[in-house]
Structures are given as structure tokens and as C-alpha cells.
Structure 1
Amino acid sequence: MSDTLTDYTSENFPKGVLSVCSHFQVNHNQAHAIDVKLTVPFPCQGELDDIAKLLADTLQQAISFSLELSVSAVRASSLSGSQANIKNIIAIASGKGGVGKSTTAVNLAYALMAEGAKVGILDADIYGPSIPTLLGLKEAKPSSEDGKLMNPLVANGLSAMSIGFLVDKNDATVWRGPMASGAFNQLLNETAWPELDYLLIDMPPGTGDIQLTLAQKVPVAAAVIVTTPQDIALIDAAKGVAMFDKVKVPVLGIIENMSYHLCENCGHKSHIFGEAGGVKMAESKQTSLLGQLPLDINIRQDADFGHSELIENSTGDIACLYRRIARNIAGQLFLQLDNASPLTPTVEYED
């Protein structure tokens, strides 16, 4: 068993599964099944379930993995009070609007939860907040127990805060830059966040002053860029990568949304907006392609009605795509930036 977990390698386990585990225990129960208990530093339940199926076929014995998640902060944070409950802040950004960034951010948040993490989402798109609609909370308003901190709204276990919960979305469109930045800082710092492994920030599209200010003032651990395969979208996405480079925020990788359309009748894959654009961009920017998502009417319909495939069917085809990308984000955050990563070089000193 331990040999298999040591030898198994993937993008998120480049040195084997056990190289990232702080605890490993194998139990044989009375039903002659094997339960493997692991303590892991990032959510990876889906991948370990796949490994369990492979082992079960090989050993002809039922095998399950029980995970305890032990996520650490990869960046020192200046947040205090309830904000100190947030371990890692990840910015979900795009160079331009209309690429499905907010829908992707919400589904990734649900996907991280499906993998076992405690997650929140903060809507930084002050001018066009869409998180309330995507979560089915359009008419909801936050409460406050002490008159100082707002309680986040909760949708299916996901803690959320958005300017859309506080003011009419049409009012936000007339704000000047400093007002928008100030409002966002209040949303972050005056929300009573519960303990979170990850807080996803749905960034406003573009690379202007507001985006730079947010990236500089918030202790963002890393960023993810959402794009479509179109050339015009890729040009703007490249500007997004450059913006985060400028403010010294690591970019974990690229998500190519609306990558292809799969025909419901024959299964033919059509690349309506171009092909392999995200792949080429990831290579040119020396970052990872975290995943490709299809142009699918179910995703659009779920978004319009505040639903998510991750909640309705966490093992469906679309849900599995999001969960794989979520694992890649969490895994690469640990592997690239955490000192406990097996990829972190060991420094030896000689007398």
C-alpha cells in the first residue's frame, strides 16, 4: 500500500502521495475492507478516490481514503480579528469581461468544498456584482450582531459577501475609483468571516487602477486567470498576468473557459472560439494550464437561476471538471509556495 502511494505521481503529487502527508495510517476493518487515513495539506479527495478504485481493482479488496485537511497559510497576512480566520486568499481574475469569470469563481468555490475545504467568496466586482445572482441570493441582506461586523451570507455552506447585498447594483456603477476601492476594503475587513481554508476573490475585469489597488492592499496568496480561447481575450488575459507580476502576486495558472462545445447528439467537439489558446498562453507565460471548461448550456442555466452542478451532482461530468481544476489550484498553491512543499529545495550549510 505505502509503496503504491509512494510510486504514484501526478501533477499535484510529483513526489508521490506520501511526500505531502503528515499522517498515514492503514486500518483493516471487520468487513475485510481497507481504510487509509491521511492528513493532507490541500483538498484532493477526488484524486484519492480515483486511486482507491485503482487499488481496489488491483488488490481485489474494498479500499477507501479518509482525509483530514490541514491547510496552512502560504503568505503572512496583515488581517486581524475575524479576518485572521482566512488562511489563503486567491484572486480569480480576467483581462476582459464576458469570459465567465464570476461563474467560474463560484463553481470553483463549490468544487473546493466538494473536495473537503472550508471556503468563502468575496465579490470585488464593485461595478457589476453578479455573485448574489449566481448564489441565488439576489434579495438577501447581511445581518450584524454587534453593529460593527457584517455576517456573510451563506449559500449551500459557502460564505459570501458582495456589494450587491448592500446597495442597488445600478448605484455602484457611478462610483469613482477611490470609492470603489474603499467599499471593497470594507467588505473584506468588516465581514465576520468564519474559519476558511480559502477565500476566493472575484476580481473586476480589466487591469486598471482599481485592480492594481486591490492586488496591492489585499494579502493575496496567488491569482488565477480566466480566459476564452479567442485571440482578443488572450491578449487581455496576458495583461492580467503582467499586472499580477507587477505587484508580486504569483499566478498559479490559466483556466480556459468556453474551450469547446460538445454536441449533445453525436458528441462532436467543436472549438467555436478557437483552439489551444490557453495552452499556448500558459506556455508563453511559463505558467500552468489549470484546466479547460466547455461551453455548456447547463452551466449558463444554472448561473441564471443561482444553481450549481456541484451542488446538484458533485460527481457529474461538469462537476468533475471543476473539481479537477480546484484540486490543481489548491495543489499548485501548496507545491509552488508552501515551505512544506516537497519541491522546496533544502538548503544545507557547511562549516
Structure 2
Amino acid sequence: MLKKIRIDKFVIAIIITIIIAYFFPQLGASDSHVPLGLISSLGISLIFLFYGLSLSTTALRSGLKNWKLHLSVQASTFILFPLLVVPFYPLVRDTTHELLWLAFLFMAALPSTVSSSVVMVSMAKGNLPAAIFNASISGIVGIMLTPLWMLPFIKQTEVSFDFSAVYIQLITEIVIPLALGLVLRRFFGIWAQKHKRTLSKFDKTVILLIIYKSFVHSFEDKIFSSLSVFKMFTMVILVIGLFFLVYFLTGWIGRILKFNHADQITNQFCGTKKSLVHGTVFSEALFGQTTIVGIILLPLMFYHALQILIISVIAAKKGREQLESNEVV
């Protein structure tokens, strides 16, 4: 008997958000008086504050001890990803495609996202403490490893490395709200558990805001018209192919390491993400105010939007299956 196909409401909301970003970009435009950047930043901080309220210190310590999972996620982010791109360098060296290849390597060498990784893991009922740890530490590790991957292939740059903005963002948006939530848990922990469904809706709202802002900027910068249709289509196919290749490889690695269901979700979700925020900061440090920055960020912009869209669908499906499983039990 055929199982009834259900379209997740959150997926519909994502599609509607992208359509709104195209036809009504005013709120997220660069000259908008609405501070969407500040609003999304505060939203991310509140997400981690609520996570802190919901988490137990025992669960957090238990998650930190899962060194196999942490090693797998960081290796996927900073070793597996770049190694899938580097072998193609001899094919593009000294050709017109070398810059686009450099853009893909830059994307592959970047840290994982923080907010969306954790939110998606939460939606899919994965190992949340481990996700928070890996997503947070990824930005710090990336400050050291991303330039190491890029420098051998950057022919000339006189820009000094100053990643203080990354540290400030990591501390203000993630570490402080999370720590504050853990401190206040003894007073508001019961409230957070009671309103878990409402807080989940808040998480999804913040994700939709991030999607809207990202697509508005993409449309505003006309990244969809800066290349030929064929090259753009090829780039999208390569981005999607790279995502699913890493997704299935991290799943395979997780099975070899015998991860449980929750750890497998965290391993695949955190190990496949790339941060547009870190990418923007890193591109300025590595390439300076040059005309190539737009091209360097192009695959990352595609990947950033597509990773949220694809993982949102997967996360919603896994979360729904887990709830149905619990109801049956």
C-alpha cells in the first residue's frame, strides 16, 4: 500500500521565503532602514540562550566526551572537504577556470556554520550538545586551518590576517548567551521545557529570516546574472554534488565508527555545512578589496542557500520520523 506523501510545512515556508526575497527585497536590501543583520544576530543569540536554558550540564559534559564524533566532524569540515577539491588543481592551473576552482577550494576550507547547524540538528533530534560544541569550535579551528589551505594557491596577497571580528562574533553571539542560559537554567529551565514547542517555532523563524536575508543579498548582488547560464548551472550542479558526496561520505564514516542515530545526525549535519559569515570575513583577509572577491564568494553563496534548503528538508523528515517512532513505542 502506498504511503501518503506529506509536504512539510517548513519546506513550504522556505520556498515562500525565497519567493518573497525575490519580489519583495526591500526589508533585506543594503539601503534598508530595517536592521535585519542586527535582528538575525539577536535571534541567533536568543537561540543559544534558550539552548542553554534547555540543556543540562550533565548532558553537555557527556556530549563533550564523545571525541570520535568531534574528530569526525572536524575532519570532514577541514580535511575531507578540501581533499575533494584539491586533486582538480592540475586540470585548471593557468586556465580561465583557475579562479573558479580557487573559489571552490575557499568554500571547502571554511568552518561550519553555527546557528543553522545546531538548529537543524535540534529539528532532526540529533545530539544537540555535541552539535553546539562542534559548531562553536569550528570557527576557532578554521581561523588556523583555512588560511593554511589557501595560502599555497594564492599567488599574491599583501593583506595581513586579522580575525578578531570572528572571535568577537563567536563570543558575543554564541558563548556568552549559551553560558548565560546555563547559569539561568536553575531559574528558567522548567519554563524552557514547558515552552519547547514555541521555542522550536522561534528557531525556525530565525532560520527563515537568515534564508530571506541571504537570498535578498544574492539577488541584490546579481550573482545569478554575473555568469553565463551554462556556467551557473554547472556551478549549482557541482555545489549540490559536493554537498551530497560529503553527506554520504560522513554517513559512511559514521557507520564505520558505529555512531548511534543521534550522533549520526550530528556528524552529517555539522560535517556538511559551510559558513557564509566566516567566508565573508576570511575573503577580506585573504584577498583584500579586490575585484575577485565577488567570484570567490559565488560558490559559497550558492552552497550557503542550498545547504539550508536541503538540510531543512532532511531535518524536518528525520524529526517527524523520530516523533512517529516515539509515538509507536
| TM-score computed with the length of structure 1 as normaliser | 0.29
More helix by share: 2
**Structure with the greater alpha carbon radius of gyration:** 1
Q: TM-score, normalised by structure 2?
A: 0.31
